[in-house]
Amino acid sequence: MRKVLVAGAAFAATCLSAVAVPAGAQADPPAPVLTDARTSSTTASAPTAGAPSPRADSSVVSARAVIVTPKPPRQRTYAYGRHPRQRVDVYWRAPAKPKKGQKAQKQQARPGVLLLHGGSWRKGSRTGWKYFARRLTTQGFTVFAADYRLSGMAHWPAQRNDAQAALGFVKKHAKTWNVDPKRLVVVGASAGGQLATQLGTAGTGSGQVRGVVALSPVNTPYLAYQDGSAATATPSQGSLRGAVVKLLGCVPSQTSPACWDLVDDANSAAHATPGDAPMLLIHSAGDFVPVTQSTGLASALRAVGVPVTVRTVPGDLHGNALLNDETVYPAMLSWIKSRTKP
């Protein structure tokens, strides 16, 4: 009896390049054939076909490992604004070339996924999504991983403004990557999850994106501020309390009307209206950003007729570490595919 083992090999490192935006407040974002920074990789070679195999024996089970290394997707880095943090990495796969003698078929536009990183609005990078982005491209998606200005550079709502600008850039240049601008989903983790739900509730959210997936989203920063002062607060919750103050540029407990306006604006539930984007919100049972951050938003959305699913998984994983739970990625992928059907 012969068994064949198939193992996936890790993708190799990717070289990124950033491109500056033309000067001028009304200048268009750069037309995206910006650099020749194609992804470079080193691929593990599979065993030579026909290589000798162990002698067959009725008492021995032999096996030969076949290493299958998916070809990395194409990757470019673009500027969607003039600030150094206003950058987006794009991952996509070129359509298969027709076989010799066959006529090229018109390719259907692909769905897209915009990824927003976490880091308490104070840190983090789009590169943290690299392997997840590559994984999604194997499912037929073109993926966009965006950075945004951090709270040490600009206070709220600069972060939401950047997320909206990145989404606008994707839509404007969608034809470059053969993306359907009407079939976009935004995915965010932790602070990026809050930005994702903000996009889903801005204006008529479903007019911007087909759906939102948020992992451990801090949907109500003021709630995180309160939790961080509780006697039972963990060090992570205490740190998040300070991050909220840094984000807003003011202390919510103060009586400044301007500060309370920011508190309300940063609360995604405050923007819930009919026509907002459907959402999938996921936390772990021991998450330091508790599921109450999402149940409140879910109640506000359901009250205006917007479908929302809130999931809690065992353990204490947070943000995109939730992808290490074996049930999370399949659930996300199924949900995203259902939302991005033609």
Backbone φ and ψ of 200, nearest 5° = -70, -15
Of 296, 222, 218, 227, nearest in space to 252 by CA = 222
Q: Tens digit of pLDDT for each residue in 143-163? A: 999 999 999 999 999 999 999
- Cα–Cα distances (Å) from 321 to 117, 211, 282, 299, 326, in that order, read 12, 21, 11, 26, 11
Q: Tens digit of pLDDT for each residue in 289-332? A: 999 999 999 999 999 999 999 999 999 999 999 999 999 999 99
Extract the tokens encoding 114.
Answer: 């915009």
Q: Specify the DSSP element, H or E, that contains 63.
A: strand 62-68
Alpha helices in 117-233 (DSSP H): 130-137, 158-172, 191-201, 205-208, 221-227
Q: Tens digit of pLDDT for each residue in 89-139? A: 999 998 766 666 666 567 789 999 999 999 999 999 999 999 999 999 999
Extract the tokens encoding 198.
Answer: 């903000």
Of 236, 214, 235, nearest in space to 293 by CA = 214
Percent helix, strand and coil across the chain, each to the nearest 5:
30, 20, 50
Domain count for the chain, please give it.
1
Q: What is the CATH number of the domain that holds 319?
A: 3.40.50.1820
Kindly state whether residue 275 falls inside one of the protein's structural domains: yes
Q: Which residues contact 321 (CB under 8 A, 6 or more apart)?
A: none
Domain that holds residue 303: 74-96+108-339
Backbone φ and ψ of 36, nearest 5° = -105, 55
β-pairing, 279-284 vs 211-215, is parallel
d(CA 6, CA 313): 29
Kindly state whether residue 38 falls inside one of the protein's structural domains: no
pLDDT classification of 25: cutoffs 50, 70, 90 = very low
Kindly state whether residue 271 falls inside one of the protein's structural domains: yes
Kindly state whether residue 60 falls inside one of the protein's structural domains: no
**8 A C-beta contact, residue 186 and residue 148:** no
Kindly state whether residue 58 falls inside one of the protein's structural domains: no
d(CA 189, CA 249): 22
Kindly state whether residue 46 falls inside one of the protein's structural domains: no
Backbone φ and ψ of 230, nearest 5° = -70, 155
**8 A C-beta contact, residue 285 and residue 315:** yes
d(CA 325, CA 333): 14
pTM of the model: 0.79
Mean pLDDT of 222-233: 96
Kindly state whether residue 56 falls inside one of the protein's structural domains: no
Least confident of 46-50, 168-172, 230-234, 328-332: 46-50
Kindly state whether residue 222 falls inside one of the protein's structural domains: yes
